[in-house]
Amino acid sequence: MGRGYKHINRFVPNASKSVCDLTGFERTTADLERRWEGWMVVPEAWNPRQPQDFPVTAKKQQVFKDARSEQSNPLETAQTPVTPI
Average pLDDT of the segment spanning 49-62: 86
Q: Answer yes or no: are the C-beta atoms of 18 and 32 closer than 8 Å.
A: yes
Q: Given a cut of 70, is residue 4 above it in pLDDT?
A: no
pLDDT digits (tens, 9 = 90+) for 65-78: 766 666 666 666 65
Q: Residues with Cβ < 8 Å from 71, sequence gap 6 or more?
A: 77
- The pLDDT value given to residue 30: 85
SS3 25: coil
pLDDT digits (tens, 9 = 90+) for 7-49: 566 677 767 888 999 999 898 888 899 998 889 999 998 888 8
What is the pTM for the complete model shown? 0.47
